[in-house]
Structure 1
């Protein structure tokens, strides 16, 4: 086992020991001074967390000049808006971890008649704290293979939680839920997901997939444009949306990001919409509005 895999494993074990000691302090009088049963284990956990973050960031950081963008098909149809786009910032999500240097989030943004409220619920400061996933037009939207590929990983057993698109919900997501998910590992951060081997050392990951929606399993081959699952709200996600990125390894803990461009669309910037239909794809500026966090 390498140092980069051993340290995260030690961190998770230390968390379990710390929680057991904390419970023990409430249930019984543990032998020894308090600093030895609570403070010292907490410092060990903190040191291992810092070491884990440092090792993961170092492993995922780009080396040398970035590869030319890989052109693939858009993974959805209909009208969508882009969030956290690499067209505006790299790394797009503020970290190179999990190979997401060039990751992008997209939310369904269907056209509405003049005078009608947008189909996608807006971010609210206080109320409602949470919304059901069915309130969002992205939930259940088909996901399409971006290229002819082989399925490496297909996992869709995690639940789709309620949205976190209010200020208290977003604070909870960022400072509580995301921390716990990070400790549990990449699969809890990206939620239900599928990883495709596109060939030439390039892999695509679709994150936050809807529970039970995957139509493929590891080892299957797919064709570009083939439905492979549905958009969900699992993992570290503020609302139903698709997080997708290309990387150079199927192992999220070992991958580096690979730039992409969608055929006929390019890389939409934050706040831009793009529409994909049977006739092809086009891109246009989105109307002004808030776009929330996604994740």
Structure 2
């Protein structure tokens, strides 16, 4: 397994089976990518907006001078100039697409005038650029508009934050991979943070140990329950990317996946019949995961890597994407 968002930092949450897009022009950074909640009072930084305007004006070298020391260690000024110049041929404008503020880190995205190219900038509280991604964009309108037959409830209680999700690779890096195109990464946050206390401990994360529930009735067709949660937080298990997992067959060609569950927490076994709202297990940090979170998706088969992801029809008809919250009824 390769890291999809390596350009945005080694701290990114990586989901099951995602490969790095080969067509992306990626500029790496060693700083952490966003993993916390957007705070309502925060908006796109003036600095980020000015960086993009400078790029449009051809002042790429000036932008480079505003990057972090760790960025400069990995990317030379000449490399940035060459990468951006090549990538931006024919570019007329960058239109702001999304904004997330995460515990001292800003994540802003733009799309070009034809929605064919994407730009991502991560900046810190001081306005220093910590990561850049230049990404060709694709869209898949046929599957984007084909929702699941069933309407699914939130697979948890309370309010959870969408870290990755949506019909665009800028807000949902799974989108580039057909088998996980409409997957979600979900965390819990309080006061803009996904944890309180020692960030190296799983128990510090609000999502860790939270109940994961069946969003619809189904039959359990696969359970993994014996993979250790990653210690310390940030260490990842790429050899067993899904970690502890439960898969439900809803009987209509739709299968729900619940990945990265807590070791030993599964409350069901293969063959069990569950009803909507039944307890499946607890949220954990197992597998290819950098902090406690739930990877949830619906697919057309029980084999994650050989099935196609289906866009979820939620019971309340919402269409959550990165930086939105999903609240259980």
TM-score scaled to structure 2, two decimals? 0.52
Q: Aligned to 2:147, which of 52, 57, 69?
A: 69
Q: How far 1:195 moved relative to its partner? A: 0.6
For residues 20-64 of structure 1, what are the alpha-carbon distances to aligned partners after superposition, in whole Å with 9 as ceiling and x for unaligned? Answer: xxxxxxxxxxxxxxxxxxxxxxxxxxxxxxxxxxxxxxxxxx999
Bigger helix share: 1
* Pairing of 1:194-233 with structure 2 (within 5 A): 194-233=246-285
- Matched-pair contact (CA < 8 Å) for 1:90–1:101: no
What CA distance in whole angstroms lies between the structure 1 residues aligned with 2:212 and 2:320? 18
What residue number does 1:104 align with? Answer: 184
Bigger strand share: 2
What CA distance in whole angstroms lies between the structure 1 residues aligned with 2:289 and 2:315? 26
What CA distance in whole angstroms lies between the structure 1 residues aligned with 2:193 and 2:243? 25
- Matched-pair contact (CA < 8 Å) for 2:154–2:326: no
What is the number of equivalent residue pairs in this alignment?
Answer: 189
What CA distance in whole angstroms lies between the structure 2 residues aligned with 1:94 and 1:216? 27
What CA distance in whole angstroms lies between the structure 2 residues aligned with 1:63 and 1:267? 16
- Matched-pair contact (CA < 8 Å) for 1:101–1:257: yes
What residue number does 2:314 align with? Answer: 262
For residues 164-197 of structure 1, what are the alpha-carbon distances to aligned partners after superposition, in whole Å with 9 as ceiling and x for unaligned? Answer: 4xxxx4xxx6xxx56xx2xx4xxx1110001100
What residue number does 1:14 align with? Answer: none
Q: Aligned to 2:194, which of 120, 135, 139?
A: 120
What CA distance in whole angstroms lies between the structure 2 residues aligned with 1:64 and 1:90? 16
Q: 1:79 to 1:194 in 2, by over 3 A?
A: same
TM-score scaled to structure 1, two decimals? 0.57
Q: How far 1:251 moved relative to its partner? A: 1.0
Gaps of 5+ in 1: 1-61, 111-116, 123-127, 281-295
- Could you say which structure has the larger radius of gyration? 1
- Matched-pair contact (CA < 8 Å) for 1:91–1:100: no
Q: How far 1:231 moved relative to its partner? A: 0.1
- The reply to whether residue 241 of structure 1 matches residue 293 of structure 2 is yes
Q: How far 1:80 moved relative to its partner? A: 1.1
Which is bigger in relative contact order (C-alpha 8 A, separation at least 6)? 1
CA RMSD of aligned residues (A): 2.9
What residue number does 2:213 align with? Answer: 144
- Matched-pair contact (CA < 8 Å) for 2:155–2:214: yes
What residue number does 1:133 align with? Answer: 202
What CA distance in whole angstroms lies between the structure 2 residues aligned with 1:230 and 1:200? 26
What CA distance in whole angstroms lies between the structure 2 residues aligned with 1:215 and 1:87? 32
What CA distance in whole angstroms lies between the structure 2 residues aligned with 1:143 and 1:94? 21
- Matched-pair contact (CA < 8 Å) for 2:167–2:175: no
Bigger shift: 223-232 or 256-265?
256-265
- Matched-pair contact (CA < 8 Å) for 1:98–1:254: no
- Matched-pair contact (CA < 8 Å) for 2:189–2:195: no
